[in-house]
Structure 1
């Protein structure tokens, strides 16, 4: 047999393995295509029906293209919110304001704090350096959450502090104050728009309203009123001595006298909230910040602010509790959309933290207590 005959008689190689390989490749490609379709459909459903992302909340709240956040705060409440002679603010509310601002995407140099009066908190109107009224983005100003205020259109965040009503008198006053009834016929000063005024009337006292708590304290020093009442966390800052060498407050009180802080057995709690304005997404962003400070990995921020300012006042106010030493539980849960890799890679609430530069805050004040004078 010659070579040509031998070659022509060789049987062809089997084609079955090649066809099987191609079939497996086609099935794998089809499976991958199906997975892509399922994932794409799932993403569309989640995006369409799931909660918004943090960035979407910021956009809807009008913060995306903003380079400044304006917050209204009190300026005459030692330990809570006080303006110093150098123009800086300090206090528990101030630390909470910076904490929320940071979580909204604003570092301390991008935050403007403006003094706000009690009667202007509902309207979010504060005065700037020129004396003109400015609508602030948020109000963090010892603002008690009440149904009446909600009915009047105020939008509150979750509560961030729980305290109660209490009373201050001169330490030289012989009267014993165990309840508001013990102030019957007495002249008692309080903030004109506070929750305390109606309770005084019901107790038979003679309420005298003032726009600022520092005005009430001055009236008490001068003997124009017999007592002052409002939230314990506000009054506590006027009771203890102010350590020497600290920056003086911008609001100076004259002829200070020793004061006594009375526990009047108030049953109702005063819970402070942030007036976030009418935009729901701004409220959700603030609530998300408070939710994270209560239950997230940055919960030490609230505790640090409390210990720094309010817990240090307690020794001068016993037996009256200055405030509850834990953050109030959020009333509900704010959900934001995050993919698993975002939760793993980024800190809550889903954005990189740059921190609040300490130089941009008020000077450190540990183990302090201020009489506000």
Structure 2
């Protein structure tokens, strides 16, 4: 009778000849793998940084803002509702609020923002008079319409931050109608010297008179020296509103008279943009405008519009003052690590997921064929 192995009997073949891995050898392999990954990371990071878009910090560095204590911004000072220096100090207006909106995104407190009056002819070269000399400002936010001619002159425009159109004002006693520039034939019409309106006025048979400041044109209208004034509707609306609400006139104006706003229906959207000192600073401005437009919690632009422009509409009918939605922003690509997306909330950190697009409450406002006035 043969014998069979029992359930508890040892395997006659003997123990497994393959030696078991020790904990120490496993640790050595893990350490070696970590070293290899670290070396690869050190080698790849410069490649990624060199090939990808810049970070926000790199844009700030390249724009010349790192370590900068003040941000110089050129603005108009004689446009009620847009940008006006107040008696006793201080500033007020839509452009002023936009200036602070952008400055805050760039990391500057309101106390670090220096607002400097700038003349229309100096906006392209960003020159403003300060401390008895002309200085170069970092940004120009001065009801400055985006045109190809100005870009050829050296202006570096951001995406638009406001849409308006060209219009005409006369004394309220003018019976009209003024539905086009042709209705001003043989009349004296004042506009800004640097705008393209002068050429259009000549084409229409009017007699253009150029001035450096729109408030000078309005004063001549009060004094009977001109018959009408033409420029962007958002600018003229503040003069038509006349001191109503919390909208004082420039102190230099005298003998103010009631005015009438006419919709001439012959200009396109006047797209106001920011003229930046360089393209990196332009990109930062666009990042600020994009954050403002896409963050549902950020009401800075809407608050500026309501406080300075919306309430004026009833006094300027039938002329629209300005489009009541922030223009579509330009998206600027910036590099960020995945964890940065959650480190800072918008708008303090560009690149956050955009909010669903807001629906415009005005459709077809610019449906007519219009030409640019270049104010």
* Fold-level similarity (TM above 0.5): yes
Contact 1:54 1:350 in 2 (8 A): no
Q: How far is 1:25 from its partner?
A: 4.0
2:281 corresponds to: 282
Q: How far is 1:209 from its partner?
A: 0.5
1:171 corresponds to: 172
Matched, 1:109 2:145: no
Q: How far is 1:107 from its partner?
A: 0.7
2:92 corresponds to: 90
1:182 corresponds to: 183
* Residues in 2 aligned to 1:179 and 1:305: alpha-carbon distance in whole angstroms: 31
Contact 1:85 1:248 in 2 (8 A): no
Q: How far is 1:347 from its partner?
A: 2.8
Q: How far is 1:351 from its partner?
A: 5.4
Contact 2:155 2:275 in 1 (8 A): yes
1:335 corresponds to: 333
Q: Which digits, 9 at most, give the CA deviation of each residue in 1:161-191, with x for residues without a partner?
A: 1110000011101221011111111110111
Is the alpha carbon distance of 1:297 and 1:53 closer, same or farther for their aligned partners in structure 2, counting shifts above 3 Å? farther
In structure 2, the gaps of 5 or more residues are 1-14, 351-375
Matched, 1:158 2:159: yes
- Three-state SS of the structure 2 residue aligned to 1:153 is coil
Q: Tell me the matched-pair count.
A: 337
2:60 corresponds to: 58
Contact 1:292 1:298 in 2 (8 A): no
- Three-state SS of the structure 2 residue aligned to 1:228 is strand
Matched, 1:344 2:347: no
Contact 2:169 2:262 in 1 (8 A): yes
Contact 2:76 2:83 in 1 (8 A): yes
Q: How far is 1:39 from its partner?
A: 4.0
2:254 corresponds to: 254
Contact 1:124 1:139 in 2 (8 A): yes
Q: How far is 1:62 from its partner?
A: 1.2
In structure 1, the gaps of 5 or more residues are 1-12, 353-373
* Residues in 2 aligned to 1:226 and 1:237: alpha-carbon distance in whole angstroms: 19
- Aligned pairs for 1:1-373 (under 5 A) are 18-19=20-21, 21-22=23-24, 24-128=26-130, 130-243=131-244, 248=248, 250-277=250-277, 279-296=278-295, 299-330=298-329, 332-348=330-346
* Residues in 1 aligned to 2:296 and 2:25: alpha-carbon distance in whole angstroms: 51
Q: How far is 1:159 from its partner?
A: 1.0
Q: How far is 1:337 from its partner?
A: 1.6
Is the alpha carbon distance of 1:17 and 1:309 closer, same or farther for their aligned partners in structure 2, counting shifts above 3 Å? farther
**Alignment TM-score, normalising by the size of structure 1:** 0.84
Is the alpha carbon distance of 1:91 and 1:17 closer, same or farther for their aligned partners in structure 2, counting shifts above 3 Å? farther
Contact 1:81 1:91 in 2 (8 A): yes
* Residues in 2 aligned to 1:121 and 1:288: alpha-carbon distance in whole angstroms: 22
Higher helix share: 1
